[in-house]
């Protein structure tokens, strides 16, 4: 674990990982901030585009109403059709039965009936009038076009709905949006437009409809007498068509147009989808949006959403356009960048790991070889190989220095051995005496050592005369005063014997000291003799020995 082969690659890899993580995190944070800003700008631009498209369409709708209200064709059509419906109940029922049928024909069939083949005066005038308004209905995506006489009767309807041929003053129509705009447009000056915002229209099942009404006058009468009222009804399909025509770059973006009352002006079915936001789309929430200008919402299926809004102004109408998009789609680039950063980091770290391992081995192997070589040189081996001397870096310099130090060390060791061989050696007796003296002067013994007295050495020769006392070789040595803890010479000599023999062996390698079995001279005590390569040589007699 502490080898450079492990530590050096690990250190390089750790530094590389630290650099990669630092750069990756910085790039990720920068990309995340950029993606949020780009998503905010994109949603705001798209909301601005949708709101401007809806405003332009509403302006165009009001322009179309103004053109139709000043048309002489409209005045003539209203005058001719109204007369036939006022003839009596029989003619009215005949007209209603032909265009509506007994059970209310489907809308495509009612639109297809233009009056051909019907033997009635109303139908003769209806042919060319219906072709004009039916084409406008399909071209501009209106819900219906009404011509209402001054009596309040609907003399023409492009779709021939339940209002056709009826008086708007009847109880079932009195409170409807159509009746309200017609009543407001009565006796208004030419060029006036009455707008009725989207609201549920109960006569057709509660579908939201908006009404735009304009009074029209007979030009021949100098526009002083109102002839009737032209009403254009629009439903949510008008808004949806505008949004779908401007759907570039929408993707998973949901678009909702909501009025000040919270009622949806675009398709109500879109608010019930699983991807629609479950939160209320209230204009008052916009000032509290976050720093990035996006609201956080949740869809009906629990998907996190981001939302933004814009105000739509068209006359007296104030609507709010909302755009919602799933966070995963809005910030998809963040996930892609994150994956790219991780992939790039792994692609960089893989070869870097191999390079770190190779570099660690290239440094650790010669250093390990140098360590073994230096240990061998310190142990005195001269045949130790020194790796790395061919390198041109610091490791090569260390190897060359170690290679130069090896012969110098060998020369110093040789000179030391030569000096040791040439130095004079002490004789065997001198070495024995030296060791004995050192042993006797430095050893202490236990208090239990016995007191002792030296005795003179007796001669083995018998006395020549019984009267003659044996001569003494010398005066008796006085007994030394021993302190407690002193050892006797016998114990000192016995303990020093191994050291003496070892010293003599080192001092005289060619000679070994052995005890002689034959008695010595004068006294019969064993004497020391030396054996050499030439034979036995007797020890010098007359040595003084002590006996216990």
Judgement on whether residues 149 and 235 belong to the same structural domain of the protein: yes
Residue 461 pLDDT greater than 60, yes or no:
no
Give residue 340's pLDDT. Answer: 82
Instruction: Report if residue 529 sits inside a domain.
Output: no
Instruction: Report if residue 519 sits inside a domain.
Output: no
The domain in which residue 218 lies consists of: 70-240
Residue 516 pLDDT greater than 50, yes or no:
no
Q: Quote the CA–CA distance of 219 and 132 in Å, as a whole number.
A: 20
Instruction: Report if residue 256 sits inside a domain.
Output: yes
Judgement on whether residues 433 and 398 belong to the same structural domain of the protein: no
Residue 165 vs residues 69, 136, 158, 179: alpha-carbon distances, Å: 20, 21, 12, 14
Number of structural domains found in the chain: 4
Among the candidates 272, 296, 330, a domain finishes at: 330
Judgement on whether residues 429 and 493 belong to the same structural domain of the protein: yes
- Neighbour order of strands in the sheet with 254-259: 254-259, 317-326, 304-314, 295-298
Residue 497 pLDDT greater than 60, yes or no:
yes
CA angle 426, 432, 438 (to 5 degrees): 105
Q: Quote the CA–CA distance of 199 and 210 in Å, as a whole number.
A: 7
Judgement on whether residues 105 and 225 belong to the same structural domain of the protein: yes
Phi, psi (deg, nearest 5) at residue 243: -70, -40
- CA torsion 133→136→138→140, rounded to 10°? -150
Among the candidates 330, 346, 365, a domain finishes at: 330
Encoded tokens for 148: 């209402």
Give residue 403's pLDDT. Answer: 74
- Helix axis angle for 4-69 and 332-379, nearest 10°, is 170
Residue 196 vs residues 154, 210, 234: alpha-carbon distances, Å: 18, 5, 10
Instruction: Report if residue 43 sits inside a domain.
Output: no
Instruction: Report if residue 475 sits inside a domain.
Output: no
Q: Which residue has the higher pLDDT, 348 or 515?
A: 348
Q: Quote the CA–CA distance of 274 and 257 in Å, as a whole number.
A: 18
Instruction: Report if residue 539 sits inside a domain.
Output: no
Give residue 2's pLDDT. Answer: 62
Give residue 426's pLDDT. Answer: 59
Residue 536 pLDDT greater than 50, yes or no:
no
Among the candidates 191, 212, 240, a domain finishes at: 240
Judgement on whether residues 141 and 99 belong to the same structural domain of the protein: yes
Judgement on whether residues 344 and 379 belong to the same structural domain of the protein: yes
Instruction: Report if residue 127 sits inside a domain.
Output: yes
**Residues whose CB falls within 8 Å of the CB of residue 9, separated by 6 or more in sequence, listed in order:** 353, 356, 357, 359, 360
Judgement on whether residues 381 and 285 belong to the same structural domain of the protein: no
Give residue 209's pLDDT. Answer: 92
The answer to whether 254 and 270 are in contact (CB under 8 A) is yes
Judgement on whether residues 309 and 365 belong to the same structural domain of the protein: no
**Predicted confidence band of residue 317 (pLDDT cuts 50, 70, 90):** confident
Q: Which of 454, 524, 448, 526 is nearest to 489 (CA)?
A: 454
Residue-averaged pLDDT of the chain = 75
Q: Quote the CA–CA distance of 50 and 61 in Å, as a whole number.
A: 16
Encoded tokens for 76: 């003539």
Residue 457 pLDDT greater than 50, yes or no:
no
The lowest-confidence range among 60-64, 189-193, 422-426, 515-519 is 515-519
Q: How many CB atoms lie within 10 A of CB 297?
A: 20
**Predicted confidence band of residue 250 (pLDDT cuts 50, 70, 90):** low
Instruction: Report if residue 264 sits inside a domain.
Output: yes
Q: Which residue has the higher pLDDT, 548 or 396?
A: 396
**Predicted confidence band of residue 488 (pLDDT cuts 50, 70, 90):** low
The CATH number given to whatever domain includes residue 279 is 3.30.450.20
Q: Quote the CA–CA distance of 240 and 141 in Å, as a whole number.
A: 10
The answer to whether 500 and 433 are in contact (CB under 8 A) is no
Judgement on whether residues 354 and 391 belong to the same structural domain of the protein: yes
Judgement on whether residues 107 and 208 belong to the same structural domain of the protein: yes
Q: What is the pLDDT of residues 83-111, one digit of tens each?
A: 888 888 888 888 888 888 876 678 888 88
Q: Please tell me whether residue 492 adopts helix, strand or coil conformation.
A: helix
Judgement on whether residues 343 and 322 belong to the same structural domain of the protein: no
Judgement on whether residues 150 and 207 belong to the same structural domain of the protein: yes
Residue 541 pLDDT greater than 90, yes or no:
no
**Predicted confidence band of residue 442 (pLDDT cuts 50, 70, 90):** low
């Amino acid at each position: 674990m502490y080898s450079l082969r492990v530590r050096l690659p690990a250190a390089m890899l750790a530094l590389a990982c630290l650099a990669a993580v630092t750069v990756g995190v910085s790039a990720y944070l920068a990309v995340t901030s950029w993606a949020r800003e780009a998503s905010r700008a994109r949603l705001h631009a798209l909301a601005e585009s949708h709101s401007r498209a809806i405003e332009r369409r509403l302006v165009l709708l009001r322009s179309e109403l103004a053109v139709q209200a000043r048309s002489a064709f409209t005045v003539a059509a209203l005058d001719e059709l109204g007369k036939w419906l006022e003839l009596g109940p029989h003619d009215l029922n005949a007209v209603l039965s032909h265009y509506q049928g007994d059970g209310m024909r489907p809308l495509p069939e009612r639109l297809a009936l233009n009056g051909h083949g019907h033997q009635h005066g109303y139908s003769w005038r209806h042919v060319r009038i219906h072709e004009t308004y039916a084409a406008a209905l399909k071209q501009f995506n209106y819900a219906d076009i009404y011509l209402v006489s001054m009596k309040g009767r609907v003399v023409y309807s492009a779709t021939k709905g339940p209002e056709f041929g009826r008086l708007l003053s009847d109880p079932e129509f009195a409170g409807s949006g159509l009746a309200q705009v017609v009543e407001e447009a009565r006796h208004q000056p030419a060029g006036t437009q009455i707008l009725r915002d989207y609201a549920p229209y109960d006569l057709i099942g509660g579908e939201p409809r908006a009404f735009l009404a304009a009074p029209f006058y007979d030009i021949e009468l100098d526009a002083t007498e109102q002839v009737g009222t032209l009403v254009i009804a629009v439903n949510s399909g008008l808004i949806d068509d505008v949004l779908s025509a401007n759907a570039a770059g929408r993707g998973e973006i949901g678009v909702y147009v909501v009025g000040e009352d919270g009622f949806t002006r675009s398709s109500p079915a879109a608010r019930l989808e699983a991807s629609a936001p479950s939160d209320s789309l209230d204009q008052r929430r916009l000032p509290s949006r976050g720093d990035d200008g996006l609201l956080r919402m949740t869809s009906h299926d629990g998907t996190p959403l981001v939302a933004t809004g814009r105000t739509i102004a068209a006359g007296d109408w104030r609507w709010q356009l909302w755009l919602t998009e799933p966070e995963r789609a809005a910030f998809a680039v963040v996930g892609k960048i994150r994956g790219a950063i991780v992939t790039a980091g792994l692609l960089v770290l893989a070869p870097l790991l191999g390079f770190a391992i190779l570099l660690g081995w290239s440094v650790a192997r010669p250093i390990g070889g140098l360590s073994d070589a230096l240990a061998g040189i310190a142990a005195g081996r001269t045949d130790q190989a020194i790796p790395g001397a061919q390198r041109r870096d610091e490791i090569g310099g260390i190897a060359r220095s170690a290679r130069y130090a090896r012969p110098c060390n060998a020369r110093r060791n040789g000179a030391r051995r030569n000096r040791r061989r040439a130095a004079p050696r002490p004789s065997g007796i001198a070495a024995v005496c030296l060791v004995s003296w050192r042993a006797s002067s430095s050893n202490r013994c236990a208090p239990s050592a016995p007191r002792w007295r030296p005795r003179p050495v007796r001669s083995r020769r018998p006395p020549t005369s019984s009267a003659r006392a044996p001569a003494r070789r010398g005066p008796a040595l006085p007994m030394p005063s021993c302190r407690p803890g002193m050892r006797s010479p016998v114990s000192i000599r016995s303990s020093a014997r191994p050291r003496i023999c070892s010293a003599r062996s080192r001092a005289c390698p060619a000679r070994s000291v052995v005890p002689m079995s034959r008695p010595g001279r004068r006294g019969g005590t064993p004497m020391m003799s030396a054996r050499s390569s030439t034979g036995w040589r007797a020890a010098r007699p007359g040595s003084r020995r002590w006996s216990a």
